[in-house]
Chains A and B, each alone.
Chain A
């Protein structure tokens, strides 16, 4: 049927357009990152002489040719490590405390549950900018400036409410009868939670874990203000330092950007199914 074929063609064209919109800006950065500076300045799309020298600058700084931006590039591995430590801890905190809170809100009827939920959601309505200044003073008073802990705690405060909200919705889709069956079978409350409920709720938890990891990895404001030296500086802050390095060739900046984005993208790729399942289930449920 001709109209169906035409419809299919239009569909594929539109999908292509959408994909171009989504992918092109970043794809271009990737291609630039493997070009020499001279090529990029001419405006080529496809590198005729692809090179890994921009990446080499970050991963093995001494071998690279350019001196500009060397200092910043050398700090890169450490910054990645910092980001990784912070994001992982934030993910762990979210999974542990967030799921506990969400479980209590989803499964237990108790007075104050509504108030708690509003408290969590309300804390999110305070914009980061409003919070960060006084938080800065509090952190400074405790001598926690320039530590991983400060950033971890700060990130947790704004990821936990979202995690709890999502997980609460997701947990409510787990049939109550499963835990009931487990309890008549002989588990206590805690046993039913760990042996039956958590395994069944695993997909949602994974989605939320990934989400909080990425949220922490890509966060900038708190990381910027609470860290000063490379001891704890995560990679988002380091990248922003590039704007100060006016002489840094864009190809190198591009390579840095790609490295920063690589880890979350790889993670998101692998687990995209869990993300859509977990977050979506809560919003519609």
Chain B
């Protein structure tokens, strides 16, 4: 049982605030990802959960126990590091057995569990080697074996796939997901790779500058971003943004006026007279629409990607990307009519980044 909850965690080094009153409740046995750019505080959070770093203020709870002052060796967590951190002077088998030996597990049980873990991670043939003789992927599996052999109540993973080559990374993602399902334990995963987080997580906590931006399922994060940061961070190619103003008296019937186009909007959650930002994902832009187009834009770049075709379009100095079928017959220099579906656009207040639109239903 491990429901991790963070209550108002703050971490500062002198004047520099790395974590700002972070409050987060995780569900038991879920795969939760801490997602954010470098320096957002996600690794610091993970270290605090592990007990390797201490918070300036705030508390960490495992279920109902306050573990804030408990040293790492007594928290019963296992951690997989970005650099794997295998003990270089020990063989693989000793690396894996180390944690069990520290807990004075009986010899035969250690042997059994190590063998099982090695089999699960398919490294049984590497047990007698030293870490320096292994490839990156193999070291990673050893690090994972070392973690799972201890059967802890909580798994912490700090960007474990970052140092692998692209192909290995993709296959390891699936493996980690499978591992999570089999072990049925809580996984707290840190990454800056938003695609990874969407694929693997039950829920994602998006962090920026030490503050929680949004906590939700991958679908929530992707389709209903709470602010402009989350909207722009998640999704590849990233969401297109247009600056402009609002027009209209009532909340229910507003229009966004951009440079060279106007877009109808769904009912707003709150009205503002300030500058706004319209966000549209590349796949939500209709080219050569059936209905009335909003404007026409010039094709600047064509990016064929096999199953999709991405066009970079230009309108009045602003560029944006649209996704379309590979068979679409648009060339560089062509003028293309386009339209944004009001049901699928996002609107944010420029100053605060806050989302101004009600949640849209997920398209089935």
Contact surface of A with B, Cβ cutoff 8 Å: 175, 177-178, 180-188, 191, 196, 199-200
Contacts and interface: CB of A to CB of B under 8 A. Distances in A.
Contact of A186 (B83, B103, B156): B103
Given A186-B73, A186-B99, A186-B102, A181 B81 contact: yes
A185 B150 contact: yes
Contact of B85 (A181, A188, A191): A181
Given A181-B79, A184-B72, A186-B73, A200 B102 contact: no
Contacts of A178: 85, 87-88
Interface in B72-104: 72-73, 75, 77-79, 81-83, 85-89, 98-99, 102-103
Interface string B83-127: 101111100000000110011000000000000000000000000
Nearest to B73: A186
Given A175-B85, A182-B98, 17 more contacts: A175-B83, A177-B81, A178-B87, A178-B88, A180-B72, A181-B85, A183-B72, A184-B50, A184-B77, A184-B79, A185-B146, A186-B103, A187-B73, A191-B102, A196-B87, A200-B87, A200-B88
A185 B98 contact: yes
Contacts of B150: 185
Contacts of A196: 87
Nearest to A109: B13
Interface string B35-68: 0000000000001001110000000000000000
- What 5 A-B pairs have minimum CB-CB distances, sorted nearest first? A186-B102, A177-B85, A185-B99, A181-B85, A199-B89
A93 B103 CA distance: 33
B304 interface: no
Contact of B78 (A175, A184, A200): A184
B48 to A, nearest CB: 13
B132 to A, nearest CB: 12
A184 B52 contact: yes
B71 interface: yes
B87 A184 contact: no
Which of B71, B86, B102 gathers most chain A CB within 10 Å? B102
A187 B75 CA distance: 12
Contacts of B82: 177
B278 to A, nearest CB: 44
Interface of A is mostly: helix
A79 to B, nearest CB: 39
A180 B89 contact: no
B71 A188 contact: yes
Contact of A200 (B81, B89, B156): B89
Interface residues of B, number: 26
Nearest to B90: A199
A188 B73 contact: yes
Contacts of A184: 50-52, 72-73, 75, 77-79, 99, 156
Which of A175, A181, A183 gathers most chain B CB within 10 Å? A181
A285 B73 CA distance: 31
Given A199-B89, A200-B88, A187 B102 contact: yes
A197 to B, nearest CB: 10
B79 A180 contact: yes
B159 to A, nearest CB: 12
Which of A183, A185, A188 gathers most chain B CB within 10 Å? A185
A186 B50 CA distance: 12
Interface string B327-350: 000000000000000000000000
A114 to B, nearest CB: 15
B83 A182 contact: no
A184 B188 CA distance: 15
A31 B256 CA distance: 97
Nearest to A192: B73
Which of B71, B98, B150 gathers most chain A CB within 10 Å? B98
Nearest to A181: B85
Contacts of A185: 73, 98-99, 102, 146, 150
Given A177-B81, A187-B102, A191-B102, A182 B87 contact: yes
Contacts of B87: 178, 181-182, 196, 200
10 contacts: A180-B52, A180-B72, A180-B79, A183-B51, A183-B71, A183-B72, A184-B73, A187-B102, A188-B73, A200-B87
A188 B70 CA distance: 12
A196 B102 CA distance: 12
A183 B83 contact: no
Nearest to A202: B89
B63 to A, nearest CB: 19
Nearest to B82: A177
A151 B48 CA distance: 48
A109 to B, nearest CB: 9
A183 B89 contact: no
Nearest to A184: B79
A182 B86 CA distance: 9
A177 B78 CA distance: 13
Which of A184, A187, A188, A191 gathers most chain B CB within 10 Å? A184
